[in-house]
Structure 1
């Protein structure tokens, strides 16, 4: 009997469709896997920003996770926005109980528009309860600074910060350098098994359509892990997928603020877009 590789995304809902659960499902599906979801919060947002957040009660987050894990049994879990301590505990308990092969944690703390998305107590619970259970964590520069308690200005700072974050006992850390002020984009991957970090560089793409990039990257990594890739290969392939999504989506107009990247940048999808110009 044939099976889809399955990924469970645990994250917040973005009604504008560019980030969160919606971006995760698009990325997972575009890469040929099956997406299941557990919603942690409902956000009121669009491309211009987040105006409100309503956390889902922890018991309902637990119910969603249990329903998926006892039936579909996904190979990988991607975790996105969590702004409530009790939800952190529910997710950590579920990981210990069901023992998925891969856990990718994207510690979403601030939106693209600058809105804080997580309580301070939830950050503490995240570092204590969830990070030690993660196959990989994927903070951006601002999130890595909060988690490590140190400023990051250079690639060398990123390498040192990755070492600090590994002390939380996760298996690997990917610090996303998209917000570095100068030079090419550079992400730093450090695993607990390798003494030297992996550097992933790419030229910057001038585009305002970057809403949901972090959500998309972490979901793509989880998908490639579920497909049998090593952590290094999963990150490499996911970064290429996101890069092509940014390139192919930079001239598409969605909303008046930070639009999304193009999740469906296959030749078929691009042909449909060109026909609608």
Structure 2
């Protein structure tokens, strides 16, 4: 076991995304996962049917206790559903100090297209959280919201990523899964340049939790001292195989097979 990852995110009762998907991902990649839960959700593969926020004081307490005792080699944030939650999380990061790599999965747009953040929370993310991020991993709808630009092709992805970089984060990985075509293209942009990652699109409804899984896989790589491009490449391969080997559970957007790296004969 190598690499401690603190995950600050919401719980998914269906087990495919959120804290549950994050823990499975970190463990499958031989890291150690600790958590600070921001909200409880009642959901399955058909959708989200209820959200129960966790009091911000308790979110902060979870984070502090983990960081003070176990520590972390990387931190990943997921569902931070309000301005107050974002301010609380950033406040704990500031008071704990240190230079722990931070991976931000913005979780701004639901799979059905509904906004998960109100304007005040979106502003707080741009103003307070993104400047602390080592990498942010928006999908196309989220990158459009963050940049204010329409994204239709790779050049648009590049322009949006450059604008998002101006908020102060060190790197932006714009995920191209929402665009049409047989090839999925993701673009990693830093102030030093860019790297394009491509893979063949998999025609399947079993993609629930791909964003959470990718961000947690990247965080695990950084915790294990991979470079960012190395962490992204390994994370993309992990997600690709997890989709290909999905168990087919549920009647909607089913979960991935997070455990594909584990030997069945163990």
TM-score (norm 2): 0.96
Counterpart Cα distance in 2 of 1:221 and 1:39: 19
The answer to whether structure 1 residue 101 and structure 2 residue 100 are counterparts is: yes
Residue in structure 1 matched with residue 76 of structure 2 by the alignment:
78
Counterpart Cα distance in 2 of 1:31 and 1:86: 32
Residue in structure 2 matched with residue 168 of structure 1 by the alignment:
167
Counterpart Cα distance in 2 of 1:96 and 1:232: 26
Per-residue CA deviation, residues 26-46 of structure 1 (Å, 9 max, x unaligned), is 000000011000001111111
CA drift at 1:97: 2.3
Residue in structure 1 matched with residue 47 of structure 2 by the alignment:
49
Residue pairs, 1:233-252, within 5 angstroms: 233-249=230-246, 252=247
Counterpart Cα distance in 1 of 2:27 and 2:9: 16
CA drift at 1:168: 0.4
Residue in structure 1 matched with residue 145 of structure 2 by the alignment:
146
Which segment drifts farther, 151-160 or 113-122? 113-122
Cα root mean square deviation, aligned? 1.4
Alpha carbons 1:77, 1:100 under 8 Å: kept: no
Picking from 197, 206, 216, the partner of 1:219 is 216
Alpha carbons 2:63, 2:92 under 8 Å: kept: yes
Counterpart Cα distance in 2 of 1:140 and 1:9: 19
Residue pairs, 1:59-70, within 5 angstroms: 59-70=57-68
In the alignment, structure 2 segments of 5+ residues that lack a partner are none
Residue in structure 2 matched with residue 110 of structure 1 by the alignment:
109
Q: Which runs of 4+ in 1 moved over 4 A?
A: none
Per-residue CA deviation, residues 173-220 of structure 1 (Å, 9 max, x unaligned), is 00000011124000000012x13x100000000111000000000000
CA drift at 1:86: 1.2
**Local SS of the residue matching 1:83:** coil
CA drift at 1:267: 6.0
The answer to whether structure 1 residue 256 and structure 2 residue 247 are counterparts is: no
Picking from 202, 205, 220, the partner of 1:205 is 202
Counterpart Cα distance in 2 of 1:67 and 1:119: 29
Residue in structure 1 matched with residue 23 of structure 2 by the alignment:
25
Residue in structure 2 matched with residue 8 of structure 1 by the alignment:
6
Alpha carbons 2:29, 2:261 under 8 Å: kept: no
Alpha carbons 2:28, 2:262 under 8 Å: kept: no
Query: How has the CA–CA distance of structure 1 residues 85 and 100 changed in structure 2, closer, same or farther, with 3 Å as cutoff?
Result: same
**Local SS of the residue matching 2:245:** helix
The answer to whether structure 1 residue 228 and structure 2 residue 225 are counterparts is: yes
Q: State the aligned residue count.
A: 265
Counterpart Cα distance in 1 of 2:263 and 2:234: 20
CA drift at 1:109: 1.3
CA drift at 1:268: 2.1
Counterpart Cα distance in 1 of 2:261 and 2:81: 34
Residue in structure 2 matched with residue 275 of structure 1 by the alignment:
none
**Local SS of the residue matching 2:69:** coil
Counterpart Cα distance in 1 of 2:113 and 2:164: 23
Alpha carbons 1:173, 1:189 under 8 Å: kept: yes
TM-score (norm 1): 0.92
Counterpart Cα distance in 2 of 1:245 and 1:4: 21
Per-residue CA deviation, residues 205-238 of structure 1 (Å, 9 max, x unaligned), is 0111000000000000000000011111111111
Residue in structure 1 matched with residue 136 of structure 2 by the alignment:
137
Counterpart Cα distance in 1 of 2:151 and 2:50: 29
